[in-house]
Amino acid sequence: MRSADLTATAKIRDAAIDQFGRHGFSVSIRAIAEAAGVSAALVIHHFGSKDGLRKACDEFVAEEIRSGKSEAMRSADPGTWFAAMAEIESYAPMMAYLVRSMQSGSELANTLWRRMIDNAEGYLDEGMRAGTLKPSRDPKARARFLAINNGGGFLLYLQMHENPTDLRAVLRDYARDMVLPALELYTEGLMTDRTMYDAFLASEHGGTDAT
């Protein structure tokens, strides 16, 4: 594909992410084209249909999040995390898009979230191999729990926010309110001993402790 085509593709995709996030997935191709400064025909030329455009948006958003998380998981330098936090408001269009996706409940949305859960398993494994994260008895289950917990937790925080339509403010406040307690929980743990975990682990394995 020619460089000019790539530029047009990126411009349309970014406009679509913004428009889908603002107005939902019923927004028209014409409105997306207008936001991108191109014709509706050019949108169809590059993506084939609105579903094709949405799939391209899904792929881009999932990869952007995977890439950012992977970088963070591989780094034991707090500066890397502070730098990401400083740019958190720039993720507002993508987070608005993800919120719309969660709320839509469509098959495309389910596909996106399954991919993001798979991606979570990948970047958690990178963190484990880099020595920043502890290993898990069940990496897939841990990744699924964290992805669902974080996605659902953000959606609840959004609904409780005094200005839920301002995703930049929501992200800024979410980081302020949630990152430190999350780091405490992930770093220091919650329970004082292993009694409950060992009991449930033994029950899961038919009464045999798998430790």
Give dist(CA 63, CA 68) in Å, integer: 8
The separation between CA 171 and the C-alpha centre of its own chain, rounded to angstroms, equals 13
| Tens digit of each residue's pLDDT, the chain (211 residues) | 455 556 889 999 999 999 999 999 999 999 999 999 999 999 999 999 999 999 999 999 999 999 988 888 888 888 888 988 898 999 999 999 999 988 887 788 888 889 989 999 999 999 999 999 999 999 999 999 999 999 999 999 999 999 999 999 999 999 999 999 999 999 999 999 999 999 999 998 775 544 4
Q: Whole-prediction pTM value? A: 0.82
Q: Which residues of 47-56 are buried (b: 16+ CB within 10 A; e: fewer)?
A: beebeebbbb
CATH number for the domain whose boundaries are 1-48: 1.10.10.60
pLDDT value of position 207: 55
Spans of all domains in the chain: 1-48, 56-204
One-letter amino acid of 109: A
Residue 168, token pair as written in the block: 């930049």
CATH number of the domain at 56-204, out of 3.30.479.20, 3.40.50.620, 1.20.120.1200, 1.10.357.10?
1.10.357.10
Give dist(CA 165, CA 97) in Å, integer: 12
